[in-house]
Amino acid sequence: MSSSDCFDIDQCQAAIEGRQVPETLESTWHRRATIRGIRSSLEFATSPSVTALCSGNEDQGAAFCRARNAMLIMSNMIPNLENPSHQPYCIWYPGFAREDTYREIARRYPSMRYQVGRSCAAAGYTTLYKELDLLPDVSIAEESPRERTRF
C-alpha cells in the first residue's frame, strides 16, 4: 500500500467537520476530506491553516483554493478569481449565494458565466440566467429542477 493510500480516519473526520487540516496531505483521502470541510464551513475555509494551504504548493493548493473560493462565493463574498486554476466549477452546492452575488461574479469574471448559469438553474434565478444570454448547455439544463421555470 502506498503512502497516498494510507489515511487516518480521525484526521479525515476532523477535516470533514471543519475542525482541523490533517497533519499530512499526501493521502488522497486526507485531501478529499479537507476539501469537503472547506466547502462546508466558512469558518474553516477562512481559517489560517486553510489560507496557508491556498498559498502553498500551486499544484496541490489550487484544489484547496477552488474549494475555498466556492465557499466564499456561496457565503456572498467575492474572492479574487484572476487565476483560472482557482476558479471553482460548482458555486452552488451545498448552498446558494444571493442572485446579486452571482451577477457580480459574472460581471467581474466573464469566464465564469457558465458556472453562474448553472447556479442560476439550480437556484431558480431566472432573471439573471436570462441576462447572461448563454448558449444552450446541457450541464445547465441538468441542474435545473423540473418543478422550476424552464430556461
Rounded distance, CA 141 to CA 46, Å? 32
Question: Which pLDDT value is given to residue 58?
Answer: 65
Calpha distance 114→110 (Å, rounded):
9
Please tell me the predicted confidence (pLDDT) of residue 117: 94
Residues 91 and 115 sit within 8 Å (Cβ to Cβ): yes
Give the CA distances from residue 54 to residues 11, 58, 60, 69, in Å, rounded to whole numbers and listed in that order: 19, 8, 8, 10
DSSP state of 24: -
Q: Is the pLDDT of residue 147 over 90?
A: no
pLDDT at 1 over 80: no
- 23, 3, 27, 26: which is closest to 11 by C-alpha? 23
- Give the pLDDT of residue 80: 94
pLDDT digits (tens, 9 = 90+) for 82-119: 999 999 999 999 999 999 999 999 999 999 999 999 99
pTM attached to this predicted model: 0.86
> What are 124's three cell numbers?
431558480
Q: What are the extents of the domains in the chain?
A: 1-75, 87-151
* DSSP letters spanning 91-121: -SSS-PPPHHHHHHHHHH-GGGHHHHHHHHH
What is the structure's pLDDT at 135? 85
Mean pLDDT of 129-144: 78
Q: State the greatest distance between any 2 C-alpha atoms of the chain, in Å, as a whole number.
A: 52
Tens of pLDDT, residue by residue over 7-59, are 899 999 999 999 999 999 989 999 999 999 999 999 999 999 999 998 876 66
pLDDT at 136: 77
The rounded distance, in Å, linking the Cα atoms of 29 and 70 is 20
Confidence of residue 141 (pLDDT cuts 50, 70, 90): low
Using omega within 30 degrees of 0 as the cis cutoff, is the peptide bond preceding 145 cis? no
